[in-house]
Structure 1
Amino acid sequence: MYRCRGEIPDLETSRLRLRKLEDRDASALFQIWGNSDVVRFLNMTRLESIQETRDMIDLLNGLSESEDTLRWGIELKETGGLIGSCGFNIWQLSGADRGEIGYDLGKSYWGQGYMPEALSAILKFGYSVMGLNRIEALVLEENKASQRVLDKLGFKPEGLLREYQRNEQGEGYIDLQLYALLRREYRGWGSN
Structure 2
Amino acid sequence: MFVCGGNIPQLEGNRIQLRRMQAEDSRSLFECWSKQEVREYSGIPELESIDAATEMIQFLNALSETEDGVRWGIVNKQNREWIGSCGFNTWQLEGAYRGEIGCELSSLYWGQGYMGEAIELLLQYGFQEMGLHRIEALVDTRNERASRLFATQHFQMEGILRDYRHTDEGYHDVHMYSLLVRDWLLEHMETPQ
Calculate the TM-score normalised by the size of structure 2. 0.94
More displaced 10-residue stretch of structure 1: 37-46 or 51-60: 37-46
Equivalent residue letter for 1:13: G
2:179 matched residue in structure 1: 181
Q: How do 1:37-186 and structure 2 match up within 5 A?
A: 37-167=37-167, 169=168, 172-186=170-184
Percent of paired sites with the same residue: 46
Cα distance in 2 between the residues matched to 1:153 and 1:136: 12
More displaced 10-residue stretch of structure 1: 45-54 or 114-123: 45-54
Q: Which runs of 5+ in 2 are unaligned?
A: none
Equivalent residue letter for 1:128: Q
- 1:130 Cα shift? 0.1
Cα distance in 2 between the residues matched to 1:145 and 1:113: 12
Q: Which runs of 5+ in 1 are unaligned?
A: none
Q: Deviations over 1:2-24 (max 9, x none)?
A: 10110100001110100000110
Number of matched residues? 189
Calculate the TM-score normalised by the size of structure 1. 0.95
Cα distance in 2 between the residues matched to 1:49 and 1:175: 30
- 1:54 Cα shift? 0.8
Cα distance in 2 between the residues matched to 1:143 and 1:191: 28
Runs of 4+ in 1 over 4 A off after TM superposition: none
Q: Deviations over 1:102-138 (max 9, x none)?
A: 0000001000000010110010000000000000000
Cα distance in 2 between the residues matched to 1:143 and 1:46: 18
- 1:31 Cα shift? 1.1
- 1:44 Cα shift? 2.6
Cα distance in 2 between the residues matched to 1:137 and 1:129: 19
SS at match of 1:86: strand
* Cα RMSD (Å): 1.5
Equivalent residue letter for 1:82: W
- 1:47 Cα shift? 1.3
User: Aligned in 2, Cα 1:138/1:191: closer, same or farther, shift over 3 Å?
Assistant: farther
Cα distance in 2 between the residues matched to 1:138 and 1:18: 21
